Each structure stands twice: as structure tokens, then as C-alpha cells.
């Protein structure tokens, strides 16, 4: 995929600030049952995991503070603070986790996410690169690295990192695939972000998702139809009925 003028105007503040815990929550720990959590047979850490999944962050913090102090529980405690945008507290817990496990990639990634939110993009890049060396198959960390590169104006590096993330897991860019902490972004930024993702999906041959992200881009104000009709990544897509329907929808608006 070529670097186009689009990417030179791109600032993906809200795409890939993704936090990592030591393990994904199991299905039975998720939010399907909002009832109070019984303490019987449930450890403090497990209680914190359930509350974190339910987005009850203050209660999760209280539970994690009652758990044994490990790198994993400190990292999760940091995540709960992070969701509350209490970044100083989150940073302290990530750093405490790294005192116990200096090469803990999840905590390093999350520390990078804290730096990113506060605009320390150069520091975030260093941390993401360090985390990626420790966890080279993490699509999440690669996506975070790409976002930080874009924020620094390093467009080629950013796109390469996004492509690596996409190769590792095409679902990494879906907002419902992981826990995303959205940064501030206006509609123009979202439109450019979605256009970029549409290109990635089109290049991978996933026409359905390419159309989905093109629709989002157009609805958020992407108006450069000349670029869209000339973009080589969309050559095959432009021959489909779905693309014709999308263009018809736009004319109706």
C-alpha cells in the first residue's frame, strides 16, 4: 500500500489506545449478570476482574487492593485507574508492577498508553517498541505503536506498524474486539481513520469490512470522492454491487 497525502494529514488519536491485562477475561466473568458478586469461592482478584469487565472501576480498585500484591494485580489496578483517567495513579501501579517483573510486556504497553494520552508520543513509542520485542506476536501492541508513530508524524513507520497489526489479527481494529480507551477526536479525524482501515481491509480482500469502514468515513465527512474513485486499493471494490449501493446512498444524502 502506498503512502498517500491522506496519511500525511492523519492523526489517529482515538483508534488504538489498547490496554492489556495478563489474560483475557473468561466468558463467565463478563457483564451478562449485573447482580452483586458473592465473595464465596471468589478471590479478590477474580472479583476485581468481574467488576472491571462490568466497568465498575472504583469497586474493581477496592477489590484489587484486597488481593495479594503481584505484578498482575498491580497492572490490573493500573488499568482500573486508567479507565477513570486517573493517570498518575495508573502510572504508579504500572511502575510498581515493573519493579516486580521488569520485562512484563502488558504493563509496559499500558505505561506507553498513559504516556500517549498525556501527549508524550516519543516516550510512548519507546515503551511500545520495548513491549513488542517482548511480545512480538501482539497485534494490540503493534496497533498502539502505529498510532503513536502517526501522532509523531512518522507516517511510514505508523502505516507499517498498522499493517503488522492487521496481519497478526485483522480484528484488532474493531472497537468491540478489545478494551479501547478512546482519546479525543473530531469527525474529520475519524473519517481519515476509517478510510485508512477501509484500505487495509480492501487490500486484504475483505470487501464487506472495507465497505463498512468506507461508509463510516463518508458518514463522518470524508468528501474526497476523486481520491476514492482513483485509489488503487479499491479497484476491485469499485466493481461490486455493494460499492455501487454505497455511492447511491451518498447521493441520496
pLDDT score recorded for residue 17: 59
Residue 132 lies in a domain: yes
Distance CA 123, CA 125 (A): 5
pLDDT score recorded for residue 2: 39
Under-50 pLDDT residues of the chain: 1-16, 25-34, 176-184
Distance CA 88, CA 112 (A): 13
pLDDT score recorded for residue 175: 54
Q: Are 71 and 52 contacting, i.e. CB atoms less than 8 angstroms apart? A: no
Distance CA 148, CA 69 (A): 31
Nearest to 19 by CA among 87, 75, 93: 75
For residue 74, what are the domain limits? 10-27+43-173
Residue 209 lies in a domain: yes
Residue 2 lies in a domain: no
Structure letter (DSSP) for residue 136: T
Cα→Cα distances 45→39, 188, 226, Å = 11, 41, 54
The length of the chain, given as a count of residues:
253
Q: Is the pTM of this model over 0.85?
A: no
pLDDT, tens digit, 9 for 90 and up, residues 201-220: 898 889 998 999 899 889 88
CATH number at residue 151: 1.25.40.10
Domain count across the chain: 2
pLDDT score recorded for residue 90: 96
Amino acid at each position: 500500500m502506498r503512502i498517500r497525502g491522506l496519511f500525511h494529514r492523519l492523526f489517529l488519536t482515538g483508534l488504538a489506545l489498547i490496554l492489556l491485562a495478563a489474560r483475557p477475561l473468561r466468558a463467565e466473568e463478563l457483564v451478562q449478570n449485573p447482580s452483586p458478586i458473592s465473595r464465596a469461592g471468589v478471590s479478590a482478584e477474580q472479583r476485581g476482574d468481574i467488576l472491571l469487565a462490568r466497568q465498575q472501576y472504583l469497586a474493581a480498585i477496592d477489590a484489587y487492593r484486597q488481593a495479594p500484591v503481584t505484578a498482575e494485580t498491580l497492572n490490573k489496578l493500573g488499568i482500573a485507574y486508567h479507565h477513570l483517567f486517573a493517570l498518575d495513579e495508573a502510572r504508579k501501579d504500572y511502575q510498581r508492577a515493573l519493579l516486580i517483573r521488569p520485562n512484563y510486556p502488558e504493563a509496559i504497553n499500558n505505561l506507553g498508553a498513559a504516556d500517549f494520552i498525556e501527549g508524550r508520543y516519543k516516550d510512548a513509542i519507546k515503551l511500545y517498541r520495548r513491549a513488542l520485542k517482548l511480545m512480538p506476536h501482539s497485534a494490540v501492541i503493534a496497533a498502539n505503536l502505529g498510532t503513536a508513530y502517526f501522532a509523531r508524524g512518522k507516517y511510514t513507520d505508523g502505516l507499517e506498524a498498522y499493517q503488522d497489526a492487521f496481519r497478526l489479527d485483522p480484528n484488532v481494529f474493531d472497537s468491540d474486539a478489545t478494551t479501547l480507551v478512546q482519546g479525543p477526536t473530531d469527525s474529520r479525524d475519524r473519517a481519515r481513520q476509517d478510510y485508512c482501515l477501509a484500505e487495509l481491509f480492501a487490500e486484504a480482500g475483505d470487501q464487506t469490512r472495507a465497505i463498512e469502514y468506507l461508509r463510516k468515513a463518508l458518514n463522518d465527512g470524508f468528501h474526497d470522492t476523486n481520491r476514492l474513485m482513483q485509489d488503487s486499493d479499491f479497484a476491485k471494490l469499485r466493481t461490486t454491487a455493494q460499492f455501487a449501493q454505497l455511492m447511491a446512498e451518498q447521493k441520496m444524502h
